A and B are shown apart, each in its own frame.
Chain A
Amino acid sequence: MADAAPDRSARRETIVLAGLAAAALACAVLYMTIGVRGGWAFVLPFRAPKLAGMVVVAVAVAFSTVVFQTVTRNRILTPAIMGFDSLYVAIQTALVFVFGSRVLATLDADWRFIGETSAMVGFSVVLFRWLLSEHGRGIHLLVLTGVVFGMLFRSLASMLQRVLDPNEFSALQDLLFASFNTIDAGLLGVTGLASGVCCAWLLSIHRTLDVLSLGRDAAVGLGVPHARLVTRLLFVVAVLVSASTALVGPIAFFGLLVANLAYLAVGHRHRPALVASALIAVVAVVGGQAVLEHALKLGGVLGVVIEFVGGIAFIVLLMRGIHR
């Protein structure tokens, strides 16, 4: 490839990625330093774990969304819109239901996460393989089915919570529902490790992912074991969704936003797209939280803002007919 054109686009790509990395770093510094009063010894243990948690969530959501869109060959599908994270919440609740809240509360956070994630992987791979095999019936049916599945999981979770113990219902909600403001620092180690391994693997097979995005027939023709690869990718997506949901709870449209922005910035090749989407996600979460929490004193609304912007973006994508 000695042409001038690919060379120029490669340079453009490098510049864009470097710019995004700088922006992400700036946001992290901003988040750590804005409005700091008193010594670092006081601020650091407060803000550092939250920053780390937000970075893990951002990277996990970005990677899982891009990979999921490659598997489904579609730009409006994301794991969250298809109900993956509601499934995780339902599984969390179901495990509390089966084993009792007292047992789970005394259990180590790491082990609880591992147990929940294993159940999640088993369930979601079976469910979504089946759903994706319905893909032939039309993309809108697939998305609408996913959305309604998400509602079913959410209603089931809240039903189980009520059945479990209507009086301690709100106490249980603290155990189950995290948010950007209450990142569960106890889970940082295990979720960070799990997401790190998954993301490293995805980056290492970026060329195979490029081939996969050509579609099933082309990929099989080029020697990609399609069925096995898709199962493994769904497995990884399930782990990444579990990590981000365990840390901050469901965030429906976040992945949709960052993945589509990344395609706009660097195109569809997987190495730059994965890296760019992760960096954009860090900028959005860390920068957004820095501005909202420390500058505007609006803690707790980042998820709502993402929901608002993402919902509008989804409708726009839908109206434009961009389904690819």
Chain B
Amino acid sequence: MQSAVESSGAGRGWLVPAGTVIALVVLSLASVLVGVGHVDVAALLSGRADPDTLRLLLVSRVPRTAAIILSGMAITIAAVIMQMLFRNRFVEPTTAGTVEAASLGLVLVAILAPGLPILARMAAAASVALVATVLFLRLVERIPARSGLIVPLAGLMLGGVIQAVTVFLALRFDLLQSLATWTNGDFSGVLRGRYELLWIGFAVAAGAYWVADRFTVAGMGESFAANLGLDHRRIVATGLVIVSLVTSASVVTVGTIPFLGLIVANVGSLVMGDNLRRTLPWIAVSGAAFLLACDLAGRLIRHPYEIPVGTVAGVLGSALFLMLLLRPGTRLG
């Protein structure tokens, strides 16, 4: 990164990015090797691994690790885009009703058109998520006093309202069990052939990086964007579509992971600063590393059983969110 030289701590500008990449590599290796089935590293390296081990790696371990990395990066990028569009540090898909709306979409599909292929299910979830997020954006625009903390508060409550509708439908149509798998993030079901949707989510999120500057400008307000010759409405719409697609891709395949993007994006900007053009890739890498760490913890705490990653991330995420909130110097509401 050439711009690293320009930053004030020029001498150690590469330290944090390098650290995140090393963490990602180490955690990925650990994620591939840890599990109930034994993997003989020495045999693997010398090329004398038996076919069973190879199959275990290719069908289960590698797809699982890939799924975690893809969804970790995609969710984090989606959260950063939302924070720019809403001009609020505490907004992300799980604090704006987006995730709850995506699972409402899945429940609706399961009731109205149970036979749909997975891509159509994801599209339906994304459309409901988009509607809810636009609704939330309208809501936020009407908040009278500019208070940063009302926004996530209203978003969490909106999520609760949407969730109530979802639970009601699930109760009526006997779908509570399916709903549970969409509302709690879990990678234990990931096998080859069952996570590839995440590539779409990742591709969309990666594409968003190329237009990241526009989101920053859009976040500065409608007139500012118009002054610079940008179509504010179109940028906001693009951003919300990206967020909805990424969110529904991850809800369909792995479920909800609370506060992931919020924590990583905030800690990232504390450590690396706010120049997103430079920091976004490393923030995304840290998101993947954080999710890998949560998943590993879930696999190790009660080996050979598993604790879903959504539960682990829920504990860590809300604890870190509290620390961010109660840190001296939080902008007051």
A307 at interface by CB-CB < 8 Å: yes
Total A-B Cβ pairs within 8 A: 116
A261 at interface by CB-CB < 8 Å: no
B165 surroundings in chain A (CB, below 8 A): 308
CA distance A268 to B168 in the complex (A): 35
A138 at interface by CB-CB < 8 Å: yes
The answer to whether B332 touches A311, judged by C-beta atoms less than 8 angstroms apart, is no
Q: Which of B152, B157, B168, B319 contacts A304 (CB 8 A)?
A: B168
* B68 to A: closest C-beta gap in Å: 19
Nearest-neighbor residue (CB-CB) of B169 within chain A = A304
The answer to whether B171 touches A300, judged by C-beta atoms less than 8 angstroms apart, is yes
B179 at interface by CB-CB < 8 Å: no
CA distance A319 to B156 in the complex (A): 14
A190 at interface by CB-CB < 8 Å: no
How large, as a class, is the contact surface on chain A? 35 or more
Q: Which of B142, B143, B314 gathers the greatest number of chain A CB atoms within 10 Å?
A: B314
B118 at interface by CB-CB < 8 Å: no
The answer to whether A140 touches B147, judged by C-beta atoms less than 8 angstroms apart, is yes
B115 at interface by CB-CB < 8 Å: no
CA distance A257 to B133 in the complex (A): 26
A151 surroundings in chain B (CB, below 8 A): 258, 314, 318
B315 surroundings in chain A (CB, below 8 A): 152, 155-156, 159
Known A137-B332, A307-B164, A308-B164: A143·B318 in contact at CB below 8 Å: no
Interface of A is mostly: helix
A158 at interface by CB-CB < 8 Å: yes
B59 at interface by CB-CB < 8 Å: no
The answer to whether A311 touches B144, judged by C-beta atoms less than 8 angstroms apart, is no
B156 surroundings in chain A (CB, below 8 A): 147
The answer to whether A138 touches B332, judged by C-beta atoms less than 8 angstroms apart, is yes
Binary interface encoding of chain B residues 26-41 relative to chain A, with 1 for a CB under 8 A from any of its CBs, else 0:
0000000000000000
* A132 to B: closest C-beta gap in Å: 13
The answer to whether B168 touches A308, judged by C-beta atoms less than 8 angstroms apart, is yes
A15 at interface by CB-CB < 8 Å: no
B325 at interface by CB-CB < 8 Å: yes
* B189 to A: closest C-beta gap in Å: 15
Binary interface encoding of chain B residues 144-164 relative to chain A, with 1 for a CB under 8 A from any of its CBs, else 0:
110111101110111011011
CA distance A315 to B172 in the complex (A): 26
* Contacting residues of chain A (157-172) with chain B, CB-CB under 8 angstroms: 158-159, 162-163, 166
B311 at interface by CB-CB < 8 Å: yes
Between A and B, 6 residue pairs with Cβ closer than 8 Å are A137-B332, A140-B332, A155-B314, A155-B318, A308-B165, A318-B157
